[in-house]
Structure 1
């Protein structure tokens, strides 16, 4: 079997030197001599590609929108790249079960737009709206609404997965309850393309909230803002999103977009959203919010109008992009218990002062997810490699020691793998490897990532 017999369209198959250099640069791959790049359109083509890879004993690397931050789809030499970006159709919307069936290459932004136009809601909301649903599933992406609605894992009913052998496996069910043996669906979610390639995903959809209200609370410092978050969670407020960032972080977005943040007071902010079925219920929660955080002496609380809401969230979404424009950086994706947010933030300040590297921190305060970007600045490549490793080793160990995890939603990939191995014991890693070998005994599917 030849690749040209599997992928019939010339614009969907590139072999060897035919692979566009621009593609390789965009995908941040280190590969110099890839076997081929294929864009399948159907499950059948994916199955045939897997059979071809088995016959030729090729390593297979899946790819999508290239929005990942852990180098989980990086290729090196001689691999077959399967890019799912053209498998991007909506297959069905079943109103009886509120299930949306999609292909893996459709973006989160397209899914959200499609269901909202029909009065429904897909809650997971990662900042990168051009990321694909397949990639979201591969990393169990969360985003800003996870504090109320959960992560991608909570909205996948069932999936169709092609294994490295070419076998097709259905995991999950449209049935709500499942106590029928091991739940393989949850094994594939977050597996970063190391166990199988997803070709269809059936997503849970819910009714669209009719009222949304965003609020900014400004504080004198981020530790004070984090203490306010603990009070918010302790009091059980029905909060949809709760983002935190410092003035210097949002100032980067302000400069890049030439747009002021709706609050100019304080040195740290909580940007929050409440949603519900009525204006009265949402305003009642905001009144509870004001009473809860009053003891933390906010410098101001601002209920945002529609225009300022768009501005505030656009600025928040742009922080990472602004950091990237400022300097090469290492984007951390730390997850800790919500009562440890302030503890971890204070520790990052200690590491920042000791290391001499600049940190820009922000994230999802409501679910304990800190994005701390460590900036390279003007360090040489060699200096940056040494200093970065020292800082990351220290930070990941500290996160582990206070009950946290190395990744909340970006995955492990190649970037975090040394630190994943550092903080998890050998028994835990042994059983992860056994799972990998059960599905991919020859280690040909996205090898070297995660395990």
Structure 2
């Protein structure tokens, strides 16, 4: 079997000099030689490409929208890249089961726009709205609304998956309850392309909330804002999103977008949203929210207009992009128990003071998913690598000590692999490898990612 027997259109099979650098140049500007990049249009083409890889003993890397931050799609050389971006159709919307069936190349933003136009809601809301659903599933993306609605895992009813030998299986069910053997659906979610290739996803949707209102609380210190988050959660507010960031963090996106954040007071902020079917309930919850923030020394509490809300959320979404325009940085997305949220931010202050590097913290405070960026500034490459490794070794050890995990939604990939090995037990890693061996005995699918 030859590649042009599988895909006859030259534009969907790229080899040699026709392969774009986006695939062949990694995050460290190192160029590698690839076997080919293929753009299938359907499951059968994916099956045939996998069988071709088996016949020619090729490694496969599955590609989506390339929004990942853990180098989970980086190539080492000689791979067959299967790019699913052209498998981008919304196949069906079943109103009886509230199930949307999509191909993996459909983006999160397209899903949200489609279902909302019909009066329904797909809650997972990662920062990169142009990220593909296949990639969201592969990393169990969460995003802004996870504190109320959960993560991608909670909205995948069923999947079609091509395995490493070319077999096609279906996992999960559109039935709501399932106690019928191992939950393979959940096993493949978050597996970063190491166990199978997702070719179809059945997504759960829910009725669209009729009302939504956003708020900003400004605080005089990082610690005050962090303490307020814990109090909000302890008091049982049915809050949709609680985003935390510092004044200096939002300044990066202000500069990038040439927009001004609605509040100029304080040094740390909570950007929050309530949604629901009853406006009076939201207003009552907002009164409780305002009192809690004032009890924790908020210097300002704003009820946002629709225009200011769009500006505030756009700026929050672009913090990382703004940082990247200023300095090389290391993006972190650890997850800690919410009761350790305050202590962790105090720890980051210590890390910043001791290292001499800027340590910008922000993230999904309501579920303990903290994003931080360590800025390289003017360090040489050797100095940067040495200091970064020292910081990360200590930081991930601390995360583990307080019961946290090295990644909440970006995945492990290559970036976190050494620290994943550092903090997870050898027994745990052993059984992960056993699972990998069961589904991919030849180590053909995205090898070298997560673990060796």
More divergent stretch after superposition (337-346 vs 434-443): 337-346
- Map residues 347-358 of structure 1 onto 2, 5 A cutoff: 347-358=347-358
Q: Is the 8 A contact 2:24 2:75 kept in 1?
A: no
Q: Distance in 1 between matches of 2:229 and 2:21?
A: 47
Aligned to 2:3: 3
Q: Which residue of 2 aligns with 1:14?
A: 14
TM-score, length basis structure 1: 0.98
2: CA distance, partners of 1:368 / 1:380: 33
Paired residues for 1:62-73 under 5 Å: 62-73=62-73
Q: Distance in 1 between matches of 2:182 and 2:42?
A: 28
Aligned length: 451
The equivalent residue for 2:195 is: 195
1:20-31 aligned within 5 A: 20-21=20-21, 23-25=23-25, 30-31=30-31
Matched with 1:146 is 146
Match of 2:167?
A: 167
Counterpart Cα distance in 1 of 2:9 and 2:428? 45
User: Which residue matches 2:406?
Assistant: 406
> Equivalents in 2 of 1:152, 1:43: separation in Å?
22
Instruction: Tell me the SS of whatever aligns to 1:109.
Output: helix
Shift of 1:191: 0.2
> When the two structures are superposed, what TM-score results if normalisation uses the length of structure 2?
0.98
Higher alpha-carbon deviation: 127-136 or 346-355? 346-355
Unaligned 5+ residue runs, structure 1?
A: none
1:90 — aligned with what?
90
The aligned counterpart of 1:449 is: 449
- The 1:26/1:117 distance shift into structure 2, 3 A limit, reads farther
Q: Which residue of 1 aligns with 2:438?
A: 438
Query: Take 2:84 and 2:61, find their aligned partners in 1: how far apart are those partners?
Result: 11
* 1:30 and 1:75 in contact (8 A); partners too: no
Equivalent residue, structure 2, for 1:327: 327
Q: Deviations over 1:378-417 (max 9, x none)?
A: 1111111111100110100000001100000000000000
Distance in 2, Cα, partners of 1:264 & 1:426: 48
Q: Indicate the RMSD between aligned Cα atoms, in angstroms.
A: 1.2
- Indicate the larger mover: 51-60 or 250-259: 250-259
- Would the aligned equivalents of 1:228 and 1:296 in 2 still touch at CA under 8 Å? yes
Match in the other structure for 1:337 = 337
Q: What's the secondary structure of 2:137's corresponding residue?
A: helix
Report the alpha carbon displacement of residue 253 of structure 1 after superposing the two structures with TM.
Answer: 1.4
Q: For the Cα contact (< 8 Å) 1:334–1:369, is it kept in 2?
A: yes
Q: Which moved more, 1:6-15 or 1:232-241?
A: 6-15
C-alpha contact 2:194 2:445 (8 A) present in aligned 1: yes
Q: Aligned ranges for residues 36-115 of structure 1 at < 5 Å?
A: 36-115=36-115
What secondary structure, in the 3-state scheme, does the structure 1 residue paired with 2:285 have?
helix
Q: Verify the 8 A CA contact 2:127 2:143 in the aligned structure 1.
A: yes
Which residue pairs with 2:415 in the alignment? 415
Q: Please say which of residues 199-208 and 21-30 is displaced more in the overlay.
A: 21-30
Q: CA deviation at 1:24?
A: 3.2
Q: Is the 8 A contact 2:32 2:75 kept in 1?
A: no
Give the unaligned 5+ runs of structure 2: none
Contact 1:30 1:76 in 2 (8 A): no
Map 1:348-427 → 2, pairs under 5 A? 348-427=348-427
Is 1:223 the counterpart of 2:223 in the alignment?
yes
Matched position secondary structure for 1:37? strand
